[in-house]
Chain A
């Protein structure tokens, strides 16, 4: 187990800088997820921690030791790759044992370690098989086994679930999380999927264009996004953002109507009022809350809830209705969100105007 500290980390390819001096401290035993869209620098950051990419500037410390110049093998980390990277010409047992390549153990000890890991991951009956005879989930488990067998200081996961189908992804998500609880090894997990980030992380690091935008627990990010990007990236469906003009203690919406604005909101003339679809529901209007009326354009029936796409004045707003209440297309509907569930952002800078 280990802490990982990143100080002013920079990565540049020639003149193009892709990671711009980021800082991050990962605690011992923590499960941290780096999340962001493609090209945000999350995988590059992970690869720099692993030692697979040279560091252009700044410092990475694993358990207090500066590892900038260390080879990957000398960092005592293990990595699980997106396409599993398990060797097709070796059996499952040999693949897992490969993690012990440098370990000074006898054959019997190595075998015992492999069997122990295989048992933990439910791979015992597959040890003699070749990877080609395994399903996607089993292959990913072998990759995790190879990482586990060495008992590394930290696990690095580079989008390990992207190649799995939706059902298997959910299952592996739970397995990895359970494994983390059991082993308590510091883990850094890279994904572009906010659901993975929300469900797995102790803390989420939101990245964009080589910068860290926000670091926090899943709920902190959901409740208190620091900017429009994080607000829209975290949560599904994405947050509704309605342009408005701030006048004293009221935000006058461009599409008509107004909402009360708490005094804590910093003054700014053009703002965006945010409401999560889960908070925007049919029902009686509350004092100072957001009311949106419009024509039902699309209905997504999910069973547990129904997502309703309302169209009003060329703008689409997504709200939710209880699972068994399915509005008809073309129906006129009014949705409300209470005042304490609204978010406020400056339109120009896209920064949150105040803590809610």
Chain B
């Protein structure tokens, strides 16, 4: 007790000035990020006459837009299209990027470095420049206005390959050699041993790819012409026709479209944060 009494009393709260600055900046950042989302949600709860009333809390909130949108067969079709595209591209990326990344990381063969640099160099080319050759390719092969046309440019990415290669390099060769001695073939070693060891990277890759494709707008807009093949972002943009932009519909659709993203983030934020930290780039 004597010892305890002799200890100096701790201040009730010890807030460092640096922390106050950090919290303030984070708060401002948070407001900037969240406000558009709040407006989106708020507008989705207004009817057409209130759209330009900028109050966050609608004067007469209504779910009418949601019933209309969900009752509209086109919206559900776009939702399904986006789901098909985003899931297919994600599965394809997780499979092929990790397979190629593994090969580049763990096998010694002539030309390995050149292949890697060639793949990596495509990261330097902006998407806008690639759209033209993609379009010509899709046109030549008859892929315009098809699911495959929307998906093919993203089925395998240089970023994913690079990410997976970096991760596989961290997997000790002993694991693979032990499996080789135990009698597994090379594909099974990749599938049963190597892949489970890079689950954090796979999760990060899957999340990035899914979100990237879920929100993709530019290429699906170019490659699709029929409304039944639109993905959600392209379909929503069709609510904005000349002279009549149906903001409340667009915002309702966007609110619904944001839901999967939010759910993914809520459940997998641990992987997203780790993935961003590990990849050191791209969100």
Contacts and interface: CB of A to CB of B under 8 A. Distances in A.
Q: Which 7 A-B pairs have the closest CB atoms?
A: A102-B183, A73-B183, A85-B174, A85-B178, A89-B196, A81-B174, A72-B181
Interface string A44-66: 00000011100000000000000
Contacts of A101: 182-184
18 contacts: A51-B181, A73-B180, A73-B183, A78-B181, A79-B177, A79-B181, A81-B177, A83-B172, A83-B174, A85-B172, A85-B174, A85-B175, A89-B199, A98-B179, A101-B182, A101-B183, A102-B182, A146-B182
Interface in A83-126: 83-85, 87-89, 98-99, 101-102
B197 interface: yes
A82 interface: yes
A73 B199 CA distance: 27
A87 B198 CA distance: 12
Interface in A314-355: none
Interface of A: 50-52, 71-73, 77-79, 81-85, 87-89, 98-99, 101-102, 146, 150
Contacts of A50: 177, 181
A77 B184 contact: no
B193 interface: yes
A82 B174 contact: yes
B184 A52 contact: no
A88 B196 CA distance: 9
Contacts, number: 51
A82 B199 CA distance: 24
Nearest to B175: A85
B183 A87 contact: no
Interface in B195-214: 196-197, 199
Contacts of B199: 89
A84 B182 CA distance: 14
A35 B197 CA distance: 33
Nearest to B188: A101
A188 B61 CA distance: 79
B47 to A, nearest CB: 54
Contacts of A51: 181
Contact of A52 (B172, B177, B193, B197): B177
A88 B197 contact: yes
Nearest to A77: B181
Q: Which of A51, A87, A102, A150 has the most CB of B within 10 A?
A: A87
Contacts of B174: 81-85
A81 B173 CA distance: 10
A79 B196 contact: no
Given A81-B174, A82-B174, A83-B174, A89 B197 contact: yes
Nearest to A102: B183
A272 to B, nearest CB: 41
A72 B179 CA distance: 10
